[in-house]
């Protein structure tokens, strides 16, 4: 087991490589939890989610959750736990007008930010910044000014992603009430996370709809509006991405990967893979 942790004011940066670990009843800070390799099971309030390789989740400061690792392969995780005041100050200073910042620096601070909690793909600027921060942690860097800049960029990148993945999708929903849009997208995020967490299982549409507390028809209509694809198309993409990861990082035969990621037929998997990435699984490997 390899475990590194550093404090940056009241924020924490944690890197861990292990085969097994259990952390119960975590709460009190905003949690940016990412998985580079392996899988981590989370219990968030009363729901179970799994972070697969190359994914992360951002949890609110008052969310109570537990994480568990029990894996035959090495699991590499990276977390940033943000102090609530750090996040509130970040949002205030980045989204308030200049007059408010100059004349009333404290009086008009907003309430504590809250986010729709959802699993995201770890790529682009978010991944680039996080990997650089991980390298500094491994080297034992304790330059507080430098680390604070990285934490600030973590939030800049997350807010940008949140706007494109959540706010933009809320706007795409065809409801008049903003509160209704927010609630529907929150439920769709539960459905989406359920598919990501159970991508290798035989998932029924009824199960997905039940997880989201929506009827099947309501789920199909609103999911298409928000994500521009059906739940089945989304699940297929998740399975194909996990297949790419296994092809690149393991020696499993293609037929075995087909079973691992939840496809039923090797020929249909090869066809879908080629149509999606313009290359066969064998050529990709």
Domains observed in the chain:
2-170 (2.60.120.810), 173-228 (1.10.10), 234-284 (1.10.10.60)
pLDDT at 46: 86
Distances (CA, A) of 151 to 8, 59, 143: 9, 16, 12
Reported as a single tens digit per residue, the pLDDT across 243-268 is 999 999 888 899 999 999 999 888 89
Q: Are 15 and 77 in contact (CB under 8 A)?
A: yes
pLDDT tens-place string over residues 166-213: 989 999 999 889 999 999 999 999 999 999 999 999 999 999 999 999
Compute the 3-state secondary structure of the chain and give helix, strand, coil in percent, each to the nearest 5: 50, 25, 25
The C-alpha atoms of residue 20 and residue 37 are separated, in whole angstroms, by 13
152 burial (CB, 10 Å; 0-12 / 13-18 / 19+) is: middle
Count CA atoms closer than 13 A to 268's CA, side-chain side.
7
pTM: 0.88
Pairing of strands 55-59, 11-26: unpaired
pLDDT at 100 exceeding the cut of 60? no
As a whole number, the mean pLDDT across the chain is 92
Count Cα neighbours of 153 within 13 Å in the Cβ-side half-sphere.
16
pLDDT tens for 48-67 read: 999 999 999 999 999 999 99
**The predicted structure's pLDDT at residue 95:** 76
Q: How far apart are the first and last CA of the chain?
A: 29
């Amino acid at each position: 087991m390899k475990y590194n942790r550093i404090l940056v004011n009241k924020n924490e940066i944690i890197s861990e490589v292990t085969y097994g670990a259990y952390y119960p009843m975590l709460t009190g800070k905003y949690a940016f939890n990412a998985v580079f390799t392996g899988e981590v099971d989370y219990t968030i309030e009363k729901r179970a989610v799994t972070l697969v390789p190359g994914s992360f989740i951002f949890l609110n400061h008052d969310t109570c959750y537990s994480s568990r690792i029990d894996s035959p392969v090495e699991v590499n995780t990276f977390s940033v736990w943000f102090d609530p005041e750090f996040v509130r100050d970040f949002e205030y200073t980045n989204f308030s007008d200049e007059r408010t910042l100059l004349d009333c620096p404290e009086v008009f601070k907003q309430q504590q930010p809250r986010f729709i909690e959802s699993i995201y793909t770890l790529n682009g600027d978010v991944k680039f910044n996080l990997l650089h921060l991980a390298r500094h942690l491994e080297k034992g860097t304790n330059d507080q000014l430098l680390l604070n800049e990285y934490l600030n960029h973590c939030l800049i990148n997350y807010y940008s992603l949140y706007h494109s993945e959540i706010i933009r999708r809320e706007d795409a929903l065809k409801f008049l009430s903003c509160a209704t849009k927010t609630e529907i997208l929150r439920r769709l995020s539960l459905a989406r996370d359920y598919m990501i967490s159970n991508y290798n299982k035989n998932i029924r549409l009824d199960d997905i709809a039940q997880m989201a507390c929506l009827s099947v028809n309501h789920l199909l209509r609103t999911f298409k509006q928000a994500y521009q694809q059906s739940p089945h198309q989304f699940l297929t993409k998740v399975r194909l991405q996990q297949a790419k990861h296994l092809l690149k990082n393991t020696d499993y035969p293609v037929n075995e990967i087909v079973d691992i990621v939840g496809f039923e037929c090797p020929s249909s998997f090869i066809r879908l893979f080629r149509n999606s990435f313009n290359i066969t699984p064998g050529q990709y490997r």
